[in-house]
């Protein structure tokens, strides 16, 4: 069973300006996601082995369509298609604002 919360450190630019590289977030892993939520996902569709972070643009049936806030610099559902809701680790509940987060 997933823990109720997880903490992640962001790498990459695709969620700028919402999330800066180096910024940390806390996710809530037990709730349902809705359109507009920023979510952490682990999917076999992705080239990267680790989890990714994107925003939910739409939900159709059980499929979630994800897009980065920085659309010109993001690989997301526009490339790999929608992902299963079951592959969502959690949604962002809290953004840590750390002055040392690097751009």
Partner 1 sequence: MPFLLKLLPSKPVFAHCDIPCGIYDPHTAQLASQTVLKMVQKMKALPKDDIHSLIRMVSVKEDHAELCKREILILWTDYFKSEHLEKFPDLHELVWKACKLCSDNKRAVDEVKAQELVEAVDKIADIFNETSRL
Closer to partner 1 by CB, 24 or 84: give it.
Answer: 24
Distance from C-alpha of 82 to C-alpha of 29, rounded to nearest angstrom = 20
**Considering CB under 8 A, how many residues would be counted as binding partner 1?**
34
Among 30, 31, 73, 81, binds partner 1 (CB under 8 A): 73
Quick one: which of 14, 43, 66, 91 contacts partner 1 (CB under 8 A)? 14
How long a stretch of residues is the chain?
Answer: 103
d(C-alpha 93, C-alpha 55), whole Å: 13
Backbone angles phi, psi at 25, to 5 degrees: -135, 155
- Kindly indicate which of the ranges 19-27, 28-36, 56-64 contains the residues binding partner 1, using the contact rule CB under 8 A: 19-27
Q: Does 58 bind partner 1 (CB under 8 A)?
A: no
Query: What are the residues binding partner 1 (CB under 8 A)?
Result: 5-16, 19, 21, 24-26, 40, 47-48, 50-54, 68, 70, 72-75, 79, 94, 96
């Amino acid at each position: 069973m997933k823990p109720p919360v997880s903490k992640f450190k962001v790498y990459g630019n695709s969620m700028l300006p919402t999330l800066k590289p180096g910024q940390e977030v806390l996710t809530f892993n037990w709730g349902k996601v809705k359109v507009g939520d920023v979510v952490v996902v682990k999917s076999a569709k992705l080239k990267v082995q680790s989890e990714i972070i994107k925003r939910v643009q739409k939900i159709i049936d059980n499929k979630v369509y994800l897009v980065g806030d920085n659309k010109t610099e993001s690989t997301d559902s526009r490339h790999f298609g929608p992902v299963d809701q079951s592959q969502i680790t959690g949604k962002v509940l809290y953004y840590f604002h750390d002055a040392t987060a690097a751009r």
